[in-house]
Amino acid sequence: MIKTQNNKAWFLVLPVLVVVAFSAVLPLMTVVNYALNDTFGNNKFFWVGLEWFEEMVTSSRLHDALGRQILFSAIILTIQVPLGIYIALNMPKKGFWASFCLVLMSLPLLIPFNVVGTIWQIFGRVDIGLLGHTLGALGIDYNYTNDPFDAWMTVIVMDVWHWTSLVALLAYAGLQSIPQAYYQAAKIDQASRWAVFRYIELPKMQGVLLIAILLRFMDSFMIYTEPFVVTGGGPGNSTTFLSIDLVKMAIGQFDLGPAAAFSLMYFLVILLVSWVFFTVMTNLDRQESK
């Protein structure tokens, strides 16, 4: 659509600006302030410059948490995106069963994060959980509270359970928008199922898939509540992801300066990756409208 040049449109954007500035800019400035100062209480601050940043960049604790976080997000994306597409391809196209599946699949998305954690905490427990008990009965030594590998598996399966539906629903929306004529043409050409997927469905889903990947990346990179409820970051530090570590530092130990410096770098990493996604996305949009 060709847009009219009109700077008065700023008046329409103003309410958003005020609300978001109140809840984003002011707190962010506070974080910046903490990151550059040291305090011994009583609201007295001493300028320390970039000291906290230097400390954090070289901190092995941060490196470990970052490594775990990247591994976690990578595993989550490699499982959820293909699985979500696969589920979307198998969903009924219309009628009662389509809305039946939609309703059931949306269910995990609307459960509060800590309840998701609670559900899996109960489900996985060796003594009272269906999963833990069944695995134990099958002779598999499974206990997410002492074994780091089991803890990882639990957290990953939980996230797959929680969020795959979002990818599937988005991919499903992309599939629904493909006109029937494309499939008919493919049938006439006797295209294989794979060819239909590769040359018709995948390109048509590109836009929504990018949104799905962007959302899943951001949210898995910020994950806090669910693993915190299930494992509390343990055993040891094995499931302490960035947000868990950050909250521990800021609220648990009240190390405001390092925590704030850490926050800012954390935010910048997410921003950078998301900016790349966003640029790719808007370029695709432009190509499509041409």
Kindly identify the residues of this chain, within the stretch 17-36, that bind other proteins according to CB under 8 A. Answer: 17-20, 22-24, 26-28, 30-31
Among 102, 153, 186, 200, binds other proteins (CB under 8 A): 102
Distance CA 134, CA 155 (A): 18
Q: Is 280 in the site for other proteins (CB under 8 A)?
A: no
Span interacting with other proteins, options 49-57, 143-151, 173-181, 183-191, rule CB under 8 A = 173-181
Half-sphere exposure of 76 (CA within 13 A, CB side): 32
Q: How far is the CB of 42 from other proteins (least distance, A)?
A: 15
Span interacting with other proteins, options 48-56, 109-117, 147-155, 184-192, rule CB under 8 A = 109-117
Residues in the chain: 290
Distance CA 74, CA 145 (A): 23
Among 50, 57, 115, 284, binds other proteins (CB under 8 A): 115
Q: How far is the CB of 9 from other proteins (least distance, A)?
A: 4
Q: How far is the CB of 167 from other proteins (least distance, A)?
A: 12
Give which of 83, 91, 82, 73 is closest to 242, Cα–Cα. Answer: 73
Question: Which of positions 179-238 make contact with other proteins (CB under 8 A)?
Answer: 207-208, 211, 218, 221-222, 224-225
3-state secondary structure of 43: coil
Q: How far is the CB of 75 from other proteins (least distance, A)?
A: 18
Two tokens, residue 290: 């041409």
Q: How far is the CB of 121 from other proteins (least distance, A)?
A: 9
Question: Which of positions 119-138 make contact with other proteins (CB under 8 A)?
Answer: 119-120, 122-123, 127-131, 133
DSSP label at residue 21: I
By beta-carbon proximity to other proteins, the closer residue of 36 and 169 is 169
For residue 100, give Cα distances in angstroms to 38, 96, 105, 163, 217. 56, 6, 9, 18, 28
Cβ-Cβ contacts under 8 Å for 155 (sequence gap 6 or more): 72, 226, 227, 230, 231, 239
Among 185, 195, 271, 276, binds other proteins (CB under 8 A): 271
Q: Is 76 in the site for other proteins (CB under 8 A)?
A: no
Q: Is 276 in the site for other proteins (CB under 8 A)?
A: no
Q: Is the Cβ–Cβ distance between 69 and 224 less than 8 Å? A: no
Distance CA 138, CA 132 (A): 10
Q: Is 77 in the site for other proteins (CB under 8 A)?
A: no
Distance CA 124, CA 135 (A): 9
Among 250, 257, 258, 261, binds other proteins (CB under 8 A): 250
Among 110, 138, 181, 188, binds other proteins (CB under 8 A): 110
Question: Which of positions 34-63 make contact with other proteins (CB under 8 A)?
Answer: none
Q: How far is the CB of 34 from other proteins (least distance, A)?
A: 8
Q: Is 251 in the site for other proteins (CB under 8 A)?
A: yes
Residue 120: other Cβ atoms inside 10 A: 25
Distance CA 156, CA 225 (A): 14
